[in-house]
Amino acid sequence: MRLHFDTGLCVRAKSKFSNCTKCVEVCPSSIQIVDNLPSFAPSTGIQAAACVGVCPTGAFSLSDFSVTEFFFRFLASKVRLISPGVNVPCISVLSVEHLIALALASDDAISLDLTGYEKESALLMHIKGTIQEANFVLSSFCDKRLETNIIETPVQTEAFLSKQEEVSRRDFLRNASLKGAIKQKIAFDDAVNAEVLQRFEVDSTIIAKIKNKQLPDKRKILFTALKRTAAPKVFEILPQEEVSFVSQKYIDENCTNCQICYRVCPTGALSSDGKFSLIHFDAMLCVKCHLCHDVCEPHAIGLQSGFEIKEFFEPSQRTLAVFNIKRCNECGNYFTYTGGEQICPRCLVEEEEAFFLHHNAKKMRGEE
Ligand code: SF4
Ligand code: SF4
Ligand code: SF4
């Protein structure tokens, strides 16, 4: 089983200002940042599978294991134990979103087998943290929980395989739409072939993918599982630092409407209208990749202190900023009007340059 990396989905490929290091933090011995992109040896196997689970945009995948296919196969089977080497290569391939969705979609309690993990290891700590976060979020709106098991007798693979039935993945995902959500399912590319530490080149196919906005499958799965869940009577607000996969934002008065954040947002959570006169935000499309914060020069975009669980059940699109838009007297393009300007900032720069050159020329001729 090999680790695959899809450059076009990594937020570091979308902007050189991205500071995302989630994959490196979880697999420091295998993944490094080289030329601003994650890099790993092609022989890297499933010991680095935690990066598949943590990457907010789904840039990492495994050659012989699809987490999405596992999700449907598991629910169709009668087995309710997730065990490494039996039905998953490693529990760390499952994200918090997958674990929440599995707990919600299953009528019976699900156990996760932690038997094979080295005590106190960073991997075990990471997996426990992921389960803890999933249970914490679940506890805010339902009584379902994931359990952890240390089992003595190895589980028989046959017991899993014989009970598996086919389930229509398409039917499950059909209802996963949300206003503004990108429904497209990506094809996972094979990117690693060379026998040296791989450097990922950004070619024209990848550039097209970078421009594309798409929602990872794990988020579509979570949407659908939530749709089938009864809303709680009271909606809690969770501290933003306790929720790693989704966020709510605000934009303050320092915003210059430079357009960068909503242009680079990989999922379309941040968006604008045709005139760039406002900034919209769909919390349930946000994967908390932090890219919008990293690119915002005046630090105008921030995280709301709490995440409102109401968004899970009644997703909304909020307007974070509204701008006064005017047509430039010079070029005719729209620009953000702050008071008094007749031309756009680009034409202003050009005008100032022309003025400078004109005076310089006069000086050289001794006319000034
Ligand atoms: S987006 Fe994914 S692959 Fe890219 S740096 Fe972040 S975690 Fe790593
Ligand atoms: S929030 Fe920041 S990045 Fe986004 S438009 Fe405003 S200034 Fe630009
Ligand atoms: S809104 Fe910001 S943090 Fe959320 S997905 Fe878009 S760029 Fe990432």
pLDDT digits (tens, 9 = 90+) for 137-146: 999 999 999 9
Q: 128 pLDDT band (50/70/90 cuts)?
A: very high
CA of 113 to the centre of ligand 1 (A): 27
Q: When comparing pLDDT for 190 and 135, which is higher? A: 135
Q: What residue ranges line ligand 2, CB within 6 angstroms?
A: 251, 255-261, 295-296, 298, 300-301
Rounded CA-CA distance 312/356 in Å is 56
What confidence tens digit (pLDDT) does each residue in 182-210 have?
Answer: 332 233 233 223 333 334 444 556 555 55
- Give the tokens for residue 212: 């594309």
Per-residue pLDDT at 186: 33
Q: Is the pLDDT of residue 133 over 60?
A: yes
- 3-state helix, strand, coil split of the chain in percent (to 5) is 35, 15, 50
The whole-number average pLDDT for the span 147-167 is: 53
Tokens of 185: 């399912």
Is 165 a residue whose pLDDT tops 70? no
Return the pLDDT at 192: 27
When pLDDT is averaged across residues 242-247 and rounded to a whole number, the result is 97
- Taking residues 90-117, what's their average pLDDT? 93
Residue 345 has pLDDT above 60, yes or no: yes
Q: Whose CA is closest to atom 8 on ligand 3?
A: 289
The model's pTM is 0.81
Nearest ligand 2 atom, CA 299: 2
Question: Which of 33-47, 323-337, 346-360 is the least confident region?
Answer: 33-47
Lowest-pLDDT range of 196-200, 227-231, 248-252, 361-365: 196-200
- State the burial class of residue 335 (Cβ atoms within 10 Å of its Cβ: 0-12, 13-18, 19+): buried
Paired with 255 in beta bridges are none
Ligand 1 centre from 368 Cα, in Å?
57
Atom from ligand 1 closest to the CA of residue 21: 5
CA 23 to ligand 1 center in whole angstroms: 6
Residue whose CA is closest, atom 4 of ligand 2?
A: 261
Mean pLDDT, residues 4-27: 93
Indicate the pLDDT class of residue 365, thresholds 50, 70 and 90: confident
How would you classify residue 304: left for phi > 0, otherwise alpha for psi between -120 and 50, otherwise beta? beta
**339 or 25: whose pLDDT is higher?**
25
What count of other Cβ atoms lies within 10 Å of the Cβ of residue 296?
A: 19
Backbone region of residue 35 per phi and psi (left: phi > 0; alpha: psi in -120 to 50; beta: other values): left
Q: How far is CA 127 from CA 66, 81, 287, 299, in A?
A: 19, 15, 19, 33
Query: H helices of 27-116, where?
Result: 50-54, 67-76, 96-105
Higher-pLDDT residue of 193, 312: 312
Q: Which pLDDT score is estimated for 207? A: 56
CA atoms within 13 A on the CB side of 38: 36
**In sequence order, what DSSP letters do the residues of 99-124 get, joined into one string?**
HHHHHHH-SS-EEEE-TTSPTT-HHH
Ligand 1 pocket test target in 15, 20, 25 with most atoms within 8 Å of CB: 20
What pLDDT, on the 0 to 100 scale, is given for residue 352?
85
Contact (Cβ atoms closer than 8 angstroms) between residue 46 and residue 90: yes
Residues with Cβ within 8 Å of 73's Cβ and at least 6 positions away in sequence, in order, are: 87, 164, 167
Query: What's the gap in Å between 268 CA and the centre of ligand 2?
Result: 15
Residue-wise pLDDT tens digits, 64-86: 899 999 998 898 888 899 998 88
Q: Rg (Cα) of the chain, in Å, rounded?
A: 24
pLDDT of residue 219: 92
Q: Sign of the CA dihedral 237, 242, 246, 250?
A: positive
Does position 158 have pLDDT exceeding 70, yes or no?
Answer: no
Name the residue type at position 172. Answer: F
Q: Closest-lying ligand to the alpha carbon of 215?
A: 3
pLDDT at 241 over 70: yes
Taking Cα atoms as reference points, which of 300, 216, 310 lies closest to residue 254?
Answer: 300
Does residue 222 or residue 338 have the better pLDDT?
A: 222
* Mean pLDDT over the full length of the chain: 83
- 300 CA to middle of ligand 2, Å? 6
Q: Does 28 score more than 70 pLDDT? A: yes
Q: 66 C-alpha to center of ligand 2: Å?
A: 36
Q: Among 46-50, 100-104, 354-358, name the one with the lowest average pLDDT.
A: 46-50
Nearest Cα residue to atom 2 of ligand 3: 292
